[in-house]
Amino acid sequence: MNDLGKLGEPLSIGDVTIRNRVFLAPMSGVTDEALRTRAYAHGAGLVVSEMVASGELAKGRGSSGFRIRHSGLPVHMVQLAGREAAHMAEGARIAVGEGANVIDINMGCPAKKVTGGYAGSALMRDLDYALTLIDAVVGAVEVPVTLKMRLGWDDDVLNAPELAQRAEQAGVKMVTVHGRTRCQFYQGKADWRAIARVKQSVGIPVVANGDVGTAQDAAEILQQSGADAVMAGRSHYGAPWTAGMIAAASTNGTAAGVPQSSAEMADYVATHYEDMLALYGIESGLRQARKHLGWYLDRHTSNVPDALRRGVLTSFEPKQVISSLREALMSFGESAFERNAA
């Protein structure tokens, strides 16, 4: 079997079985319930919640409780971030109480607002402290705990293999590695070969992440890293079917529900928009949806008149947004099917 072929196989995370090995990455402000359910319906093997601040969750603040809500999918995986062991443990218990089957610990986020609070990838600068958080979460819940990380803080601290080893010893059941350091943010090309050092250091499944957007990318990252699965994130902007298409390619199949024409694309995006309004309410939904609408336009249209684009992205009237959206996609766009066939 070639490297791509194994992506169609199930994968076990502790006692939780995942239907295939192509995952949607957790992305703050992006992978909400509306996007996750779409990605799963298209064939993604696993989808992960947005990053949830454990301190806010433990204190019952903000939208953290909304973010961990069970979406009805077979596997509910919640990602937690934080710097306090007690909050991480309590956040994990709350998430499991809401139906989480897997808890993921974020030690990879490079955002300054996260690392400035000594969370996310900043924890890779002090592995002893990082392990106190891992121990707290593993000890707090009976569901599998996983860990997402980067290669290290910078090129002088490439300690992902050591963190993975210590996490495995602490009871973590799977690690995901983004092939960049924190100081790279998303610049340059992800170093897929460097992930191999993590794979060689542990016996638990390793997921390779970074710059995966096509089946060819997936085959190459597997070949270079030796990983057990792949995770794709930003390539889902305007294309919730990305993981599903990669998974389908691994079995020479076809991803479910991918728009096959410009008319189908217009219907698809309009429905996604309406689902976001239903999820967040009109006022918040209008704001939350705009980035997604912008990504759809960027990916699937060209030469859209400025006035029409503004009508999609700035109107406060949902009916007008949908009308402008349909005009843009049907007059100036092409479907995902047409673009992939070109």
Q: Which residues are catalytically annotated? A: 109
Rounded to an integer, what distance in angstroms lies between the CA atom of residue 41 and that of residue 35? Answer: 10
Which residues on adjacent β-strands are paired with residue 208? 177, 230
Rounded to an integer, what distance in angstroms lies between the CA atom of residue 43 and that of residue 251? Answer: 12
Angle among Cα 33, 211, 238 to the nearest 5 degrees reads: 40
Burial class (CB in 10 A: 0-12, 13-18, 19+), 15: exposed
Rounded to an integer, what distance in angstroms lies between the CA atom of residue 297 and that of residue 295? Answer: 5
82, 119 Cβ separation under 8 angstroms: yes
Burial class (CB in 10 A: 0-12, 13-18, 19+), 10: exposed
Tell me the pairing of strands 77-81 and 229-232: unpaired
Give 87-117 as a DSSP string. HHHHHHHHHHHTT-SEEEEEE----HHHHTT
Q: Residue 123's CB: how many other CB atoms inside 10 A?
A: 28
Instruction: For residue 47, give the H/E element and its range.
Output: strand 46-53
Rounded to an integer, what distance in angstroms lies between the CA atom of residue 165 and that of residue 204? Answer: 9
153, 182 Cβ separation under 8 angstroms: yes
Neighbouring residues of 272: CB distance < 8 A, sequence distance ≥ 6: 34, 35, 38, 240, 289, 292
